[in-house]
Structure 1
Amino acid sequence: MKLTKMSHSCVRLEKDGQVLVIDPGGFSEQDAAVGADAILVTHEHPDHFDEARLRAGMEARPGAQIWTLRSVAEQLASAFPGRVHTVGDGDTFTAAGFAVQVHGELHAVIHPDIPRVTNVGYLVDDGALFHPGDALTVPGRPVETLMLPVMAPWNKISEVIDYVREVEPQRAYDIHDALLTDLARPIYDRQIGALAGAEHLRLAPGGAVRL
């Protein structure tokens, strides 16, 4: 499996000539979903869900399909009949040749006065990779590569470190990092790397690695 880190929380997975893209939102590249055979969206917030980017991907490849939660699916289903699938916690499906399990139900708490939206995470190929979206969801099974939401209005570094400890992946790659400044990155790298108990890695947008 090839993992390509796009901007912010968007990642691109490739295997056997097929492409799976997760969370091509408003902070990711304009063409983040173009070329995808399947697209997964974790929740409705605009840094994870951008209708224009999804439409571009779906129109570029007529066979492309989307799996996502109901609040997003309802905005796209009429434009792409039969190609948008609603999923929730506990569901399993195959997308672009990848086996996917859905974990989680709610977005992390930003503030008690802000209603929580639905958020789902995606466990790919029996734990080869887990993308939690905007929550610190523990999938309850071994994870090789954790996509780690490193900096957000809803987390702090101690929670990020404890999350890695709880999931116990072999390695963690940063996502949700568009708001993390260059001044802060060395601090996050040092503290997560020293305390989380797993290999902590970071890819620049467009950077890729074989898993």
Structure 2
Amino acid sequence: MKITHFGHACVLLEIPAPGTEVRVLIDPGTYSTGFEGLRGLTAVLITHSHPDHIDIDRLTTLLAANPTADIVADSASAALLSGLDRTVTTVQPGDKLWVAGVRVDVIGGVHACIHAALANVLNNGYIIDGSVLHPGDDLETFPAGHAIEVLLVPAGGPWMKIGEGIDFLRRVAPRVAIPIHQAGLAQMHQQLHYQLLRNLGPEGCELVVLEPGTAHAV
């Protein structure tokens, strides 16, 4: 499998399958760049309806250039896409679906709390091919029953502190951890958070910081 990080929460998974390659894009949002030119997408998955995870304008253009791509989202994100002449598969935690033969399990429930005075939103985490977890903005839901090989671990956001990210990484204990959700951090703090994740993560876990737009085999 190859993983490409387009900044913040947006990643592309390229999964080998018999006679083809399944290309799954997750969370093309406003803080991410470089995904606009992607073609041959099999599916686009949206974790939740915050703009840094779903850029409606660029996503509309992207979907027009990928007319056969499946669209999978939580109900609030699906409502934002209701103006498209496309079917959106609405999913919630506990659902399981197949994308061109690749299994996707939906976990999660709600976005991590930013403040009690703010209304919260739904949040789907996705386990792709039984081994890769994108949690969206949720560090509480543990992927029970799955041996996660690759965790896309949030490194920063107004709803988290890095200690929570470290604890989540320790609970999941993947073989590889790839930091995401870092666009709101200053460069100095990005490097500090990566160092903390690397030094305080579980034994045997490799932290891999991806260069934007560059595919990495895992």
Q: Same fold (TM over 0.5)?
A: yes
State the partner residue of 2:150: 145
1:200 and 2:207 aligned? yes
Contact 2:34–2:213 (CA under 8 A) maintained in structure 1: no
8 Å CA contact 2:29–2:54 kept in 1: the answer is yes
Partners of 1:31 and 1:56 within 8 A in 2: no
- TM-score, normalisation: structure 2: 0.90
- Is the CA contact 1:19–1:96 (under 8 Å) kept in the aligned structure 2? no
TM-superposed CA distance for 1:33, in Å, is 7.2
Q: Distance in 1 between matches of 2:83 and 2:13?
A: 27
Counterpart position of 1:184: 189
Moved over 4 A (4+): none
**What is the CA-CA distance between 1:30 and the residue it aligns to?**
5.9
What residue identity is the alignment partner of 2:114? I
Aligned counterpart, 1:66 = 71
Q: C-alpha displacement at 1:68, in angstroms?
A: 0.3
Give the match for residue 101 of structure 1.
105
Question: Which stretch shifts more, 114-123 or 198-207?
Answer: 198-207
Q: Tell me, yes or no, if the aligned pair for 1:58 and 1:65 is still in contact at 8 Å.
A: no
Q: 2-side partners of 1:155 and 1:75: how far apart?
A: 25
Amino acid at match of 1:20: V
What are the residue-to-residue correspondences of 1:47-196 with 2, within 5 Å?
Answer: 47-81=52-86, 83-126=87-130, 128-136=131-139, 137-140=141-144, 141-196=146-201
What is the one-letter code of the residue matched to 2:102? Answer: F
Asked if 2 retains the 8 angstrom alpha-carbon contact of 1:34 and 1:58, the reply is no
Q: Percent identity?
A: 38
Q: How many residues align?
A: 209
Instruction: Give me the CA root mean square deviation.
Output: 1.5
Q: What's the offset of the Cα at 1:62?
A: 1.5
Work out whether residues 174 and 201 of structure 1, in 8 Å CA contact, stay in contact via their aligned partners in 2: yes
Query: Which amino acid letter does the alignment assign opposite residue 98 of structure 1?
Result: V
